[in-house]
């Protein structure tokens, strides 16, 4: 059984900061895709919404632990079942936004991925030992997150926006590093602080990069001014 340290209120409240920053980035990307392709934009909006809710629930679990030492399993355990389809839907919508697909071809693949991902997770939770189901969902989320990062980096490079591209790549690298920390069975309080501060910095960079690629005229003006 996992034991948790006594979370101070300051740590719990700070945990909302990376959630807010990532939400800003997701919202900017969703708006960009919505302008390009209405239906594909819906997938990005849905995926972004799921990811934001997952982040809020996880932060709220830590807040409940800090205020009342109340462990709400739903808030803690729903994170991976939500981020896996969340990243998959965002990546699919971004990829599909520049392709002429029929409604069927646009809708069926992401629906199948979500159903299979959650169905396999449910089966593993019932029949496989330990947290095999969580490892499966982490793998699905990782594939979706890497795909999203590649697509966003490609967009940035198409705009010759090397800063945004570097920020997207850095965010992905930090995400992998934080995943290793998240897998630690017992984390002392200073590790939680380190994890959250790094996550905040990473998501600030993500939001900044999203702002840059959704406003390419800003980068053009900067290049012209420094030429």
Of residues 41, 44, 124, 39, the one with CA closest to residue 81? 124
- 124-158 pLDDT tens trace: 989 887 778 888 998 999 999 999 999 999 999 99
**Whether the predicted model's global pTM rises above the 0.85 cut:** yes
- 74-126 pLDDT tens trace: 888 888 899 999 999 999 999 999 888 888 988 999 999 999 999 999 999 89
Q: Supply 67's token pair.
A: 């205020």
Phi-psi sector, 80: left (phi>0), alpha (psi -120 to 50), beta: alpha
Instruction: Summarize the confidence of residues 15-27 as an average pLDDT.
Output: 96
Please check whether residue 56 is in contact with residue 86, taking contact to mean a CB–CB distance below 8 angstroms.
no
Residue 1 pLDDT level (bands cut at 50, 70, 90):
very low
Please check whether residue 137 is in contact with residue 117, taking contact to mean a CB–CB distance below 8 angstroms.
yes
Sequence-distant contacts of 174-182: CB under 8 A, at least 24 apart: 174/198, 174/199, 174/201, 174/202, 175/145, 175/202, 178/202, 179/138, 179/142
Instruction: Summarize the confidence of residues 60-74 as an average pLDDT.
Output: 86
Instruction: Summarize the confidence of residues 156-181 as an average pLDDT.
Output: 90
Residue 217 has pLDDT above 60, yes or no: no
**What topology is assigned to 9-226 in CATH?**
Rhopdopsin 7-helix transmembrane proteins (1.20.1070)
Instruction: Summarize the confidence of residues 193-206 as an average pLDDT.
Output: 92
């Amino acid at each position: 059984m996992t034991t948790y340290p006594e979370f101070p209120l300051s740590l719990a409240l700070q945990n909302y900061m990376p959630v807010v920053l990532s939400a800003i980035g997701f919202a900017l990307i969703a708006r960009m895709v919505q302008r390009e392709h209405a239906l594909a934009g819906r997938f990005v909006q849905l995926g972004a919404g799921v990811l934001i809710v997952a982040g809020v629930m996880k932060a709220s679990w830590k807040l409940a632990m800090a205020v009342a030492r109340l462990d709400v399993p739903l808030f803690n355990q729903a994170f991976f079942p939500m981020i896996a389809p969340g990243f998959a839907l965002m990546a699919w919508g971004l990829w599909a936004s520049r392709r002429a697909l029929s409604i069927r071809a646009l809708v069926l693949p992401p629906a199948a991925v979500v159903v299979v991902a959650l169905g396999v997770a449910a089966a593993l939770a019932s029949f496989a030992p330990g947290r095999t189901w969580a490892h499966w969902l982490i793998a699905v989320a990782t594939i979706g997150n890497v795909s999203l990062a590649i697509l966003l980096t490609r967009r940035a490079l198409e705009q010759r926006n090397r800063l945004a591209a570097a920020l997207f790549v850095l965010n992905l690298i930090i995400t992998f590093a934080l995943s290793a920390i998240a897998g630690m069975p017992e984390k002392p309080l200073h590790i939680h602080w380190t994890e959250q501060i790094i996550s905040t910095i990473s998501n600030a960079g993500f939001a900044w990069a999203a702002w840059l690629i959704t406003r390419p005229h800003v980068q053009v003006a900067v290049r012209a001014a420094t030429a």
